[in-house]
Structure 1
Amino acid sequence: MEVRKSCLGAAGRLMMDIMQFDWEPLGHWELDQRLDQAVEELIETELINSVQAQCGPVLMQVSTQDDFIHFTQEQAPTLSVQLFEQQPAVFQQEQRVHDQPEHITEIEGNPTVQYVTALLQNSSSTQSQSRLTGRARLSLSHTVFLSLTLLSKRLSYRSVSSTFRLEKGNIHRIFFSFCERVIALREQLIHWPSGEEALEHLLPFSSWLGWDERLEERGLPRVLGVLGHTRIPIRLPISKQDAESGVLDAKRMKKEPHPDSWLNLELVCNHEGRFIHCLISRGSDEDRGSTLSEKLRQNPDLMPPGTCLVARVGYPLTGHILTPFSQGQSPQENLYNRSMETHLSMFDQAIADLKERFQKLRYLDMGNFERAKAVVLTSCILHNAFQDMGHVTKGQVEREMREEEQEGKKEHAGITLRDTVVNLLYSALEAGGD
Structure 2
Amino acid sequence: MLLSVADFIGVSKASACRIVKKVTSAIASLSPRYVKMYSTNAEMNRAAEEFYRFARFPRVIGAIDCTLIKIQSPGREDDGIYRSRKGFCALNVQRVSDARLKIRNIVARWPGSCHDQTIFNNSSLKEAFQNGMYGRYMLVGDSGYKIKPYLMTPLQQVQTPAENLYNESSIRTRNVVERQYGVWKRRFPILSLCMRLQIETTMNVIVATAVLHNMAIDMNDSIPGEWTNPFNADEDEIEQDDDHYVESSTLSR
Contact 2:138/2:151 (8 A) holds in 1 = yes
The 1-side partners of 2:177 and 2:120 are apart by 15
Q: Label 1:396 to 1:234 Cα distance change in 2 as closer, same or farther (>3 A).
A: farther
Contact 2:52/2:60 (8 A) holds in 1 = no
Determine helix, strand or coil for the equivalent of 1:182.
helix
* Mapping 1:200-215, distance limit 5 Å: 200-203=46-49, 207=53
The aligned residue for residue 283 of structure 1 is 112
- Unaligned 5+ segments in structure 1 are 1-155, 211-219, 245-252, 408-434
Q: Label 1:178 to 1:208 Cα distance change in 2 as closer, same or farther (>3 A).
A: closer
Contact 1:289/1:316 (8 A) holds in 2 = no
The answer as to 2:235 corresponding to 1:235 is no
Instruction: Give the aligned residue type for 2:126.
Output: S
The answer as to 2:132 corresponding to 1:300 is yes
CA RMSD of aligned residues (A): 2.8
Residue in structure 1 matching 2:241, options 395, 402, 408: 402
- The C-alpha deviation readout for 1:44-95, integer Å capped at 9, x for no partner, is xxxxxxxxxxxxxxxxxxxxxxxxxxxxxxxxxxxxxxxxxxxxxxxxxxxx
Q: Label 1:358 to 1:395 Cα distance change in 2 as closer, same or farther (>3 A).
A: farther
The aligned residue for residue 334 of structure 1 is 164
Q: CA deviation at 1:170?
A: 0.6
The TM-score with structure 2 as length reference comes to 0.80
Q: Label 1:380 to 1:181 Cα distance change in 2 as closer, same or farther (>3 A).
A: same
Instruction: Give the aligned residue type for 1:271.
Output: A
Instruction: Give the aligned residue type for 1:237.
Output: P
Residue in structure 2 matching 1:347, options 174, 177, 183: 177
Q: CA deviation at 1:256?
A: 2.9
Q: Which structure would you say has the larger RCO, counting Cα contacts within 8 Å and 6 or more residues apart?
A: 2
Q: CA deviation at 1:193?
A: 1.0
- The C-alpha deviation readout for 1:343-386, integer Å capped at 9, x for no partner, is 11111110001110110011233263212111111111111111
The answer as to 2:18 corresponding to 1:173 is yes
- The C-alpha deviation readout for 1:25-57, integer Å capped at 9, x for no partner, is xxxxxxxxxxxxxxxxxxxxxxxxxxxxxxxxx
The aligned residue for residue 263 of structure 1 is 91
Contact 2:140/2:151 (8 A) holds in 1 = yes
Contact 1:326/1:405 (8 A) holds in 2 = no
Q: CA deviation at 1:276?
A: 1.1
Instruction: Give the aligned residue type for 1:312.
Output: D
The 2-side partners of 1:360 and 1:284 are apart by 21
The 1-side partners of 2:106 and 2:59 are apart by 22
Contact 2:84/2:112 (8 A) holds in 1 = no
Contact 1:238/1:367 (8 A) holds in 2 = no
Q: Label 1:161 to 1:205 Cα distance change in 2 as closer, same or farther (>3 A).
A: closer
Q: Label 1:329 to 1:406 Cα distance change in 2 as closer, same or farther (>3 A).
A: farther
The 2-side partners of 1:183 and 1:322 are apart by 30
Q: Label 1:369 to 1:395 Cα distance change in 2 as closer, same or farther (>3 A).
A: farther
Q: CA deviation at 1:223?
A: 1.1
Per mean C-alpha deviation after superposition, the further-off stretch among 377-386 and 195-204 is 195-204
Q: CA deviation at 1:185?
A: 0.8
Determine helix, strand or coil for the equivalent of 2:76.
helix
- Unaligned 5+ segments in structure 2 are 247-253
Instruction: Indicate the structure (1 or 2) with the bigger Cα radius of gyration.
Output: 1
The TM-score with structure 1 as length reference comes to 0.48
Contact 1:311/1:344 (8 A) holds in 2 = yes
Contact 2:95/2:106 (8 A) holds in 1 = yes
The answer as to 2:203 corresponding to 1:366 is no
The aligned residue for residue 274 of structure 1 is 102
Identity level (%): 23
- The C-alpha deviation readout for 1:121-144, integer Å capped at 9, x for no partner, is xxxxxxxxxxxxxxxxxxxxxxxx
* Mapping 1:16-415, distance limit 5 Å: 156-195=1-40, 196-203=42-49, 207=53, 221-239=58-76, 256-258=86-88, 261-280=89-108, 281-286=110-115, 287-290=118-121, 291=123, 292-297=125-130, 299-301=131-133, 303-305=134-136, 307-366=137-196, 368-393=198-223, 394=227, 397=230, 398=233, 400-404=239-243
How many positions carry a matched residue from both structures? 229
Q: Label 1:355 to 1:254 Cα distance change in 2 as closer, same or farther (>3 A).
A: farther
Q: Label 1:285 to 1:332 Cα distance change in 2 as closer, same or farther (>3 A).
A: farther
Q: CA deviation at 1:162?
A: 2.2
Structure with higher strand content: 2
Contact 1:233/1:364 (8 A) holds in 2 = yes
The 2-side partners of 1:175 and 1:226 are apart by 31
Structure with higher helix content: 1
- The C-alpha deviation readout for 1:289-331, integer Å capped at 9, x for no partner, is 212323311x312x143x2110111112111111111242332
The aligned residue for residue 145 of structure 1 is none
Contact 1:157/1:171 (8 A) holds in 2 = yes
